């Protein structure tokens, strides 16, 4: 016969919160409080009035809140708040499971113990076993003859053991006779261990990375992580290089109120090969001074120009040509903004930086289009003042402002028309060179018009999970005019000082395919299956400039530009941004990229980039996870104009259930690097951690 007992709510602490500092998902709670009735089910149930004790036996099941306790026998003394359970003890909460031979807990003091306990935390796969697990104080815990791992099975791939462990939350844990095992082989022993125990991030040494390269020789990187506060942390790196010496790195991050944040990093080394100190520093900061006032800084500096070629491996960093540093302050209003920015450029390819032009500072005021009264006429203003500075060469100031008026009008048949006109005035004060020296002024008129419409239709389809497709078509036709005027007497700081006059008609056709996809829960999702834009211009008079391709002045038609992105499936995408020359009947530029992935970790990607007479290369990447537990990765870039690989990267990862090791090799023309990275699940991966 089954008995069910309904009692009034009582406060109960679940002992799976023991060692909470080591197991963050559990540590987040203060212990559940029974906010509803406690239910006891058992084959037999009795109550001793003299001791005020409930006793249950046979398939005992006690349920309160989201917690269920199973055992062969259990008792609850209401006078002392002592609860005991024995025989196949299982305590289950949100998928986490604590088992043992015997459980004792004091409901009032929240103290108790479990004998021969086994704790499993589902979210992180943490597993803790101990001959005795006990909570002996508000934040104090004991573990005797304990084992910790994130691996499955009776013989885990790795584990830590300790003769005893004493834990005080938010303070420290200390233990004796700690051993690290791989399978059943002990690899590391320490007679005493102490480490911080916090519910938040923890400070300490991270796993090192080991490797060798052509430029560095054999290297060993030892990182130390310091959790300064909930809003600050820093990683220090000590890097030992057999060919270069000993380097030190720092990476500091912080967040502040109102979303402000920043970081500082640096790396320094006395290069024994070149017998000089080398390094770099970088700083980023964003400060929201108010809801409308923002300060930003982005500082990048290096002690010498070849540092990145010798000490970095990432494409776009080791081969960068310039370093930019900037600091800005921006004030926003409802329909306008004012910004001031200092920008300093370090030309890494030049012998020195004396001829590099700097903008110290640039002041920009922008007024967005505002309606003038009740008529559909809108006023806007774009303006900036720049002080150009360099140690050698032309210097000076430029004031550039352009007011404009735009008329919007809705026409019959769903057409929309916009017409605009503006006047651009530039004022100069230049010195330091004979060309353009002194005070100058020049004004240019510009105008234009654009007419467009939007057509749309929805189609039923049975293509996979796509039930409906919406096709949107936007044709546009326009005209642009910029006054043509000789500007050779003006100073030349950048291309804004040589505005190209033009009279050009343009057309474009934009097409969208949007799919309505029914999911398992019957709630539809929407995805852009295709977006495509074709555009071209015809030059009526004047000239034109194109920074991406050469321009033939005798041929008025511009290149036909195709911008497209195709996503027929969620994990497949193809994109392009290419220009076709209607006279040569070939491509002036082409950028085509395709990527595909699956839910098993496999991926492939290819990209072709071409610019006539400038660059042509092919980039590819492959990730294969078919041969478990191995994962293979490859990325590479091949230059057709050089006839050689620019870079190739190979990696093999052995990924076990609770640990992984990665062997990687990076090959580029001036450097080869081999790296080993090791990670334990639940402990964290450190490698390839960068100190610069």
Check if the beta carbon of residue 91 is closer than 8 Å to that of residue 104.
no
Euclidean distance between CA atoms 137 and 157, whole angstroms: 34
> What count of other Cβ atoms lies within 10 Å of the Cβ of residue 204?
11
pTM: 0.73
Check residue 557 and report its DSSP letter: B
CATH 3.40.50.300 fits 3-196, yes or no: no
Long-range contacts of 57-63 (CB under 8 A, 24+ apart): 60/85, 62/38, 63/38, 63/39
Give the C-alpha separation, 619 to 412, whole Å: 49
User: Rounded to an integer, what distance in angstroms lies between the CA atom of residue 200 and that of residue 431?
Assistant: 59
d(CA 308, CA 300): 12
Asked if 208 and 686 touch (Cβ cutoff 8 Å), the reply is: yes
In three-state secondary structure terms, 198 is: coil
pLDDT of residue 548: 54
Strands 586-597 and 502-518: unpaired
In whole angstroms, give the CA distance from residue 455 to residue 136: 73
> Measured between alpha carbons, how far is residue 668 from residues 84, 419, 641, 649 in Å?
66, 53, 16, 9
User: Cα dist. 57→45, 81, 88, 90, 213 in Å?
Assistant: 7, 19, 12, 14, 68
Angle at 424 between CA 422 and CA 429, to 5 degrees: 165
143 close to 133: Cβ distance less than 8 angstroms = yes
Task: Concatenate the DSSP letters of all residues of 589-633 into one string.
Answer: EEEEEEEEE-TTS-EEEEEEEEETTTEEEEEEEEEE--STTEEEE
- Pick out the chain residues at pLDDT < 70: 1-38, 107-110, 169-173, 195-202, 314-316, 520-522, 542-553, 681-692
Round to whole Å and give the CA distance between 69 and 57. Answer: 13
Q: Which candidate, 122, 119, 44, places its Cα nearest to that of 89?
A: 119
Domain range list for the chain: 3-196, 411-578
Cα separation of the two ends of the chain: 71
Peptide bond into 110 cis (omega under 30): no
Residue of 347, 264, 349, 273 lying closest to 310 (CA atoms): 273
Residue 4: predicted pLDDT: 38
Closest among 101, 120, 105, 116 to 23, alpha carbons compared: 120
Maximum distance among all alpha carbons in the chain? 110
- Contact present, 666 and 672 (Cβ < 8 Å): yes
């Amino acid at each position: 016969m089954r008995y069910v007992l309904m009692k009034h709510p009582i406060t109960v602490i679940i002992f799976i919160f023991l060692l909470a500092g080591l197991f963050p998902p559990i540590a987040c709670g203060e212990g559940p409080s029974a906010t509803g009735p406690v239910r006891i089910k058992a084959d037999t149930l009795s109550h001793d009035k003299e001791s005020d004790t409930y006793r249950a036996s046979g398939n005992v099941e006690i349920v309160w809140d989201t917690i269920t306790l199973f055992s062969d026998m259990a008792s609850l003394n209401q006078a002392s708040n002592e609860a005991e359970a024995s025989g196949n003890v299982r305590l289950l909460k949100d998928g986490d499971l604590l088992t043992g031979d015997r459980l004792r807990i004091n409901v009032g003091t929240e103290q108790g113990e479990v004998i021969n306990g086994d704790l499993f935390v589902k979210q992180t796969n943490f597993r803790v076993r101990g001959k005795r697990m006990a909570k002996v104080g508000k934040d104090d815990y004991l573990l005797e003859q304990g084992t910790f791992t994130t691996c499955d099975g009776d013989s885990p791939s790795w584990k830590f053991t300790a003769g005893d462990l004493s834990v005080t939350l938010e303070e420290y844990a200390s233990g004796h006779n700690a051993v690290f095992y791989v399978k059943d082989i002990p690899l590391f022993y320490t007679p005493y261990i102490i480490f911080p125990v916090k519910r938040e991030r923890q400070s300490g040494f991270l796993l090192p990375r080991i490797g060798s390269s052509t430029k560095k020789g054999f290297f060993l990187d030892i990182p130390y992580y310091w959790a300064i506060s909930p809003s600050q942390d820093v990683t220090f790196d000590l890097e030992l290089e057999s060919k270069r010496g000993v380097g030190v790195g720092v990476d500091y991050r912080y967040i502040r109120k109102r979303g402000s944040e920043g970081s500082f990093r640096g790396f320094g080394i006395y290069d024994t090969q070149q017998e000089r100190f080398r390094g770099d520093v970088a700083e980023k900061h964003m400060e929201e001074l108010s809801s409308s006032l923002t300060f930003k800084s982005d500082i990048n500096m290096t002690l010498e120009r070849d540092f990145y070629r010798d000490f970095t491996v990432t494409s776009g960093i080791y081969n960068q040509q310039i370093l930019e540093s900037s600091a800005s302050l921006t004030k926003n209003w409802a329909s306008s903004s004012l910004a001031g920015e200092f920008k300093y450029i370090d030309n890494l390819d030049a012998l020195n930086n004396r001829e590099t032009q700097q903008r110290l500072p640039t002041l920009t005021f922008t007024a967005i289009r505002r309606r003038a009264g009740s008529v559909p006429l809108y006023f806007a203003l774009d303006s900036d003042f720049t002080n150009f500075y360099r140690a050698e060469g032309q210097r000076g100031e430029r004031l550039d402002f352009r007011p404009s008026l735009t008329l919007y009008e809705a026409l019959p048949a769903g057409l929309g028309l916009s017409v605009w006109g503006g006047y651009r005035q530039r004022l100069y004060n230049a010195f330091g060179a004979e060309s353009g020296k002194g005070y100058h002024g020049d004004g240019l008129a510009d105008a234009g018009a654009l007419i467009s419409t939007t057509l749309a239709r929805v189609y039923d389809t049975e293509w996979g999970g796509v039930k409906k497709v919406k096709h949107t078509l936007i044709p546009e036709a326009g005209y642009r005019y910029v006054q043509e005027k000789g500007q050779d007497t003006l100073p030349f700081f950048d291309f804004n000082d040589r505005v190209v006059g033009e009279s050009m008609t343009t057309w474009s056709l934009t097409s969208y395919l949007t799919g309505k996809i029914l999911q398992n829960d019957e709630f539809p999702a929407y995805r852009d299956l295709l977006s495509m834009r074709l555009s071209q211009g015809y030059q009526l008079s004047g000239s034109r400039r194109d920074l991406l391709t050469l321009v033939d002045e005798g041929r008025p038609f511009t290149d036909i530009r195709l911008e497209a992105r195709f996503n027929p499936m969620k994990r497949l995408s193809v994109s392009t941004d290419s220009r076709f020359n209607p006279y040569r009947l070939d491509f002036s530029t082409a950028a085509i990229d395709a990527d595909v992935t699956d839910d098993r970790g496999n991926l492939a990607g290819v990209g072709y980039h071409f610019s006539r007479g400038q660059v042509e290369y092919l980039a590819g990447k492959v990730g294969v996870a078919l041969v478990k537990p191995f994962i293979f990765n490859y990325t590479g870039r091949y230059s057709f104009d050089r006839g050689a690989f620019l870079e190739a990267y190979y990696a093999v990862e052995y990924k076990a259930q609770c640990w992984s090791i990665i062997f990687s090799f990076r090959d580029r023309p001036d450097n080869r690097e081999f790296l080993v990275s090791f990670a334990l699940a639940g402990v964290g991966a450190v490698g390839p951690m960068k100190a610069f």
